Chain A
Amino acid sequence: MTTATTFVGSSVKRVEDPEFITGSGTYLDDIKLPGMAHMAILHSPHAHARIRGIDTSKAQQHPGVLAVFTGKDTAGINPLPCAWQAGGVENHVNTPHVLASDEVRYVGDAVAVVVAEDPYTARDALELIEVDYEPLPAVVDPEKATQEGAPQLHENAPNNVCMRWTAGNQEATDRAFEQAEVVVKQRLVNQRLIPTAMETRGAIGSYNPGTGEFTIWMTSQAPHVMKLLLAAFVLNVPENKIRCISPDVGGGFGSKIFCYADMALVAFASRQLGRPVKYVEDRTENYQWTTHGRDHVTYAEIAGTRDGRITGLRVRTYANLGAYLSTIAPGIPTTLYGRMVPGVYKIPATFVEVLGVYTDTAMVDAYRGAGRPEAAYLIERMVDLFAREVGMDPAEVRRRNFVPPNEFPHDNGVGMLPYDSGEYEKALNRALELSGYPEFRREQEEARRQGRLLGVGLSSYVEVCGVAPSAWIGLNGQGWGAGLWESANVRVHLTGKAVVTTGTSPHGQGHATTFAQLVADELGVPMEDVIVEHGDTQGTPFGFGTYGSRSLAVGGSAILRSTAKIREKARKLAAHMLEASEEDVVWENGRFTVRGSPESARTIPEIALAAATGYSLPEGMEPYLDETSYYDPPNCTFPFGTHVCMVEVDRDTGETRLVRYVAVDDVGNVINPMIVDGQLHGGIVQGVAQAMWEQGVYTEDGQLVTGSLMDYALPKASMLPNFELDRTVTPTNVNAMGAKGAGEAGTIAATPAVVNAVMDALAPLGIRHLDMPLAPEKVWHAIQERSASQKEER
């Protein structure tokens, strides 16, 4: 038996793996219920059109078809909710109906469903539905959508503006720019990304006519929130009559947080037909109508002194929200982006203006990093452009402007909660040292003389995670429609085996391992005696789910509250069992002993037995060790670090080769280093991919070009170098573990590091900025243009 206090901090192998590695996990599409029927969805092929009529008669007569539903049939279902409006400003809210009946506003808008005996038949019958569309003009670019004469999506949102939101001090910022020695301006496009979890989304609805209860299996990162939203806002069913279950979920990256039409449709269809109904989207649907991420057009200006001090930052961003508001869409480019743009720098005056804009595209919502990657990209690109303008090394400019370690908690001036802790220069120094930055600069100089294009890029980032204190994020503050605490129940059964239930809902992060490590140490039991359950709203306490790198910082804290309560009760019972006074009973080496006589001891399993049998309990004590906690954090956490990317660009082909990638991250204390490294690896891959390859592309009239894995440039194994990871550790005092969160750091840091490296490589050609992705063709064109104009200049 392994003893206590050995699990936290060690790279324990994941308890999830044996199931996944043998193919015996249970993902949504692996679930088969007796009598289950299959649903397929007809999506609009037009970006914008009026629906003049829908003829479903042929589909209804197709053999094997059980029912066809259109918007007329689902008129009793409310539009999907928007649960996070931009705080403090008016939002012109438009959310989708589960089936559109009068107008469609993007390619992918749902128009009708077929329920059939099997999925093949359901899909065959979709082709028999005739929809009479009257095409309307469409707009896909968020900046163009706000201009005079652009096609209008919603009556209540003139010029397609959903909301205008600001943060910071406009007057002081304007003054800083008037007085600045140097001003650098740049238009930056943070392109649309498509999350592309390997498992597509889906849902199974099962209605029990006897009890009036719905069970809905779903590929969700937040099943409790879905239960709440579907009950209270969409289906008008009492909340205690809906049970939501997230089985194993094959990746989400944000896209599975949200409330989708199919969740309501399978529930509706099941009630209509009296049979369970399954829907699983195919890959094309996943690209068309599961939410996208990013998509900002930003005008950024940075002001400073000739000696490299930043004195002001002014930002105006057009944030594309898509055709309607997804569940938490407006909160992303405001609270999570606008309030993070100053990054790791002490900037005396910052002003941010964000316009949330409707366009004829798929809804845009949180995608890994959610707002913070856009913020980090903005400030890290601008700092590099500023460094180039004043002729200083970008590392030195960063150093000169960092928030110093003795100035925490730090107020960044744009309304973010105070940054908890940070040693930004320490992480930068470590990254420079590990990557051999000075040597590379010398090598680069030599290479440039030979005409080779070597570049190095830095990204010193800070992010906000562990979201969030309810009083701050909630309706009176940042506009989030509920709280954002987290929950946990810990039970120790009669036999000493423990079960932890959590309101978080993992989908690849290894929570069952990390959480078991925490609990095993706290209870002094072997890890294999602790099982973590999640994802079923029946049997787990209400929780807000997994996103925003919050599950350990907030969910883990709730677990520790519960184990503390168990330990407190167990201590009382141990004293009773050992016939000692409570004050003399102490927790040592994973068991309770009596001070001064270590030979008399009781372990948690022994106490659990006594608590469960109840034969002899102290007066007034209830049987069983079973404690629930709801933990609302006092602050968010702010991980940080510096990534260094080294590249060589091929002058003849425009191709970028990643030569080295060094990441120094500070995520506070680490429970399982192996799992944290995996999260960082994955994050960096997605961040590098945005810089180099990925882009969700629509034609001007709103057709999705990147609608398959052939067209959307997901990185492959052969495209990436090995990453060199290192850590500094600056604990946070926000939670008892001192842990900050690691799920998104890599994605946030990597994108600007790569772009800065490529721009550094292209600097000798006078190329200042290119928008992502830095695909060979784009870089080659830029090189050709510069070479041509340089020849003309000669």
Chain B
Amino acid sequence: MATRETSKVPVNLDINGEQYDVLVEPRRTLLDCLREDLGLTGTKRVCDVGNCGACTVIADGRTGYSCLMLAVESEGLKITTIEGLAGEDGLHPVQQAFIQEDALQCGFCTPGQVLSVVSLLERNSDPSDEEIRLAVSGNLCRCGAYPKIFRAARTAAQIMSSK
């Protein structure tokens, strides 16, 4: 065990505006670090190889698959996970819109879908249908909620532009 412990390295992570100091193996993914070391289990593991989008986080304004990011290379990035979206004044408009449009069923791909839409709307407040499709095309949903996810994205854009 001792040899393994010494192979760990210290990392400082900025997650949802909070600073975390953790010791991780260099091979530890950001996904494992979030889930196992920081207890932020809202980020989901589905494929672990960048095929599905369930582990999507926003890093410095861009969506990324946390299963393809190492914890050690995430130092210095401002990372948002699903846990960081709702504020004191309640749910994020995208979260509200997902509920309103029934855009989730089993909930397992949902954090990734929501973050992809959040990231899209941060870059583009009035996306076209095609841009919405593209934004979530890297997020698989086996419950087949896609049509409702598109609707939720449009509804969220409306909520955000009316604020």
Please report which residues of chain B, range 131-152, place their CB below 8 angstroms from some CB of chain A when the two chains form the complex: 133-134, 136-137, 139-150
**Is B54 at the interface (CB under 8 A from chain A)?**
yes
Contact of B46 among A18, A198, A249 (CB under 8 A): A198
Say whether A681 contacts B147, CB under 8 Å: yes
How many residue pairs at the A-B interface have CB separations less than 8 Å? 162
Given known contacts A22-B82, A681-B147, is B106 in contact with A14 (CB within 8 Å)? no
* B154 CB to nearest A CB, Å: 12
A18 to B39, CA, bound (A): 19
A677 to B151, CA, bound (A): 14
Q: Which of A143-151, A594-602, A718-726 contacts B (4 or more CB under 8 A)?
A: A718-726
* A717 CB to nearest B CB, Å: 5
Please report which residues of chain A, range 726-742, place their CB below 8 angstroms from some CB of chain B when the two chains form the complex: none
A238 to B63, CA, bound (A): 50
Tally of contact residues, A, Cβ under 8 A: 59
Contact of A13 among B47, B100, B139 (CB under 8 A): B100
Given known contacts A22-B91, A716-B137, A717-B146, is B102 in contact with A678 (CB within 8 Å)? yes
Say whether A678 contacts B1, CB under 8 Å: no
A282 to B150, CA, bound (A): 29
A251 to B143, CA, bound (A): 7
Interface string of A278-309 (1 = CB under 8 A from B): 00001100000000000000000000000000
Q: Provide the residues of chain B in CB contact with A682, threshold 8 Å.
A: 105, 143-145
A16 to B99, CA, bound (A): 10
**Is B14 at the interface (CB under 8 A from chain A)?**
no
**Is B114 at the interface (CB under 8 A from chain A)?**
yes
**Is A411 at the interface (CB under 8 A from chain B)?**
no
Contact of B109 among A25, A198, A685 (CB under 8 A): A198
Interface string of B90-134 (1 = CB under 8 A from A): 010001001110101111111100100000000000000000011
* B110 CB to nearest A CB, Å: 5
Q: Provide the residues of chain A in CB contact with B150, threshold 8 Å.
A: 717
Say whether B148 contacts A248, CB under 8 Å: no
Given known contacts A63-B1, A198-B108, A509-B105, is B83 in contact with A22 (CB within 8 Å)? yes
**Is B74 at the interface (CB under 8 A from chain A)?**
no
Say whether A283 contacts B46, CB under 8 Å: yes
Interface string of A258-273 (1 = CB under 8 A from B): 0000000000000000
* A550 CB to nearest B CB, Å: 18
* B2 CB to nearest A CB, Å: 9
Tally of contact residues, B, Cβ under 8 A: 56
Q: Provide the residues of chain A in CB contact with B41, threshold 8 Å.
A: 23, 27, 29-30
Say whether A685 contacts B144, CB under 8 Å: yes
Contact of B140 among A248, A253, A716 (CB under 8 A): A716
* B121 CB to nearest A CB, Å: 16
Interface string of A692-728 (1 = CB under 8 A from B): 0000000000000000111000111110101100000
Say whether A720 contacts B83, CB under 8 Å: no
Given known contacts A64-B4, A717-B137, is B102 in contact with A686 (CB within 8 Å)? no
A684 to B147, CA, bound (A): 11
A356 to B69, CA, bound (A): 46
**Is A335 at the interface (CB under 8 A from chain B)?**
no
Identify the A interface with B (CB < 8 A).
Answer: 11, 13-14, 16-25, 27, 29-30, 32, 63-64, 117, 120-121, 196-200, 248-251, 253, 282-283, 507-510, 674-675, 677-678, 681-686, 708-710, 714-718, 720, 722-723
